[in-house]
Amino acid sequence: MKLVIKNVVDSAGKKIEIACDNGRIVDTKQVTNDFNVYDGKGLTIIPGLVDLHTHLREPGKEDAETVLTGSRAAVAGGFTAISAMPNTNPVADTAGVVEQVHRLGQVHGLCDVFPIGAVTVGQQGKSLSEMGAMNSSEAKVRIFSDDGHCVSDSLVMRRALEYVKGFDGVIAQHAQDPRLTAGSQMNEGAVSAQLGLKGWPAAAEESIIARDILLSEHVGSRLHICHLTTAGGVELVRWAKKRGVQVTAEVTPHHLLLTDETARSYDPIFKVNPPLRTERDVQALREGLADGTIDIIATDHAPHPAEDKECEWAAAAFGMIGLETALSISYLAMVQSGLISFSTLVEKLTTNPAKIARYEGHGSLATGNWANFALVDLAHNWRVEATSIRSKSKNSPFLDRELPAVVVSTFFRGTEVYSR
Partner 1 sequence: MISHLLSISDLSKDEALNILDTAEELARVTETPVKKLPTLRGRTIVNLFFEDSTRTRISFEAAAKRLSADVINFSAKGSSLSKGESLKDTALTLQAMGADGVVIRHPASGAAARLASQKWMTGAVINAGDGTHEHPTQALLDAFTIRQHLKNSSGDLSDLSIAIVGDVLHSRVARSNVLLLSKLGAHVTLIAPPTLLPVAVNSWGVEVKYDFDENLDEYDVVMMLRVQRERMDEAFFPSEREYSRRFGLNGDRLSRLSEKSLVMHPGPMNRGLEISADSADSRKSVIVDQVKNGVSVRMATLYLLLGGN
How near is the Cβ of 309 to partner 1 at its closest, in Å? 8
Q: How many CA atoms lie within 13 A of 211 on its CB side?
A: 20
Task: Reply yes or no on whether 377 is catalytic.
Answer: no
Q: How far apart are the first and last CA of the chain?
A: 21
| 77, 116 Cβ separation under 8 angstroms | no
Of 88-96, 100-108, 126-134, 186-194, which part binds partner 1 (CB under 8 A)?
186-194
Pick 20 or 320: Cβ nearer partner 1: 320
How near is the Cβ of 190 to partner 1 at its closest, in Å? 4
Q: Which residue of the set 112, 146, 295, 300 is catalytic?
A: 300
**Quick check: 188 binds partner 1 (CB under 8 A)?**
yes
* Rounded Cα–Cα distance for residues 140 and 271 (Å): 33
Please say whether the dihedral angle defined by the alpha carbons of residues 234, 282, 266 and 310, taken in this order, is positive or negative: negative
**Phi/psi at 286 (nearest 5 deg)?**
-65, -45
* Rounded Cα–Cα distance for residues 82 and 150 (Å): 21
Helix residue spans in 255-394 (DSSP H):
279-290, 326-330, 342-346, 352-357
* Residue ranges in 304-323 that form contacts with partner 1 under rule CB under 8 A: 307-308, 310-316
**Quick check: 193 binds partner 1 (CB under 8 A)?**
yes
Q: Using alpha carbons only, how large is the chain's radius of gyration in Å?
A: 20
* Rounded Cα–Cα distance for residues 295 and 380 (Å): 27
Of 15-23, 97-105, 118-126, 185-193, which part binds partner 1 (CB under 8 A)?
185-193
**Quick check: 46 binds partner 1 (CB under 8 A)?**
no
Question: Which H or E run contains 144?
Answer: strand 143-144
How near is the Cβ of 182 to partner 1 at its closest, in Å? 9
Binds partner 1 (CB under 8 A): choice among 194, 336, 381, 419? 194
How near is the Cβ of 89 to partner 1 at its closest, in Å? 17
Count of residues interacting with partner 1 (CB under 8 A):
25
How near is the Cβ of 149 to partner 1 at its closest, in Å? 20
SS3 state of residue 92: coil
Of 68-76, 105-113, 260-268, 374-382, which part binds partner 1 (CB under 8 A)?
260-268
**Quick check: 12 binds partner 1 (CB under 8 A)?**
no
* Rounded Cα–Cα distance for residues 86 and 141 (Å): 11
Pick 35 or 266: Cβ nearer partner 1: 266
Binding site for partner 1 (CB under 8 A): 185, 188-190, 192-199, 201, 265-267, 307-308, 310-316
Task: Name the residues annotated as catalytic.
Answer: 300
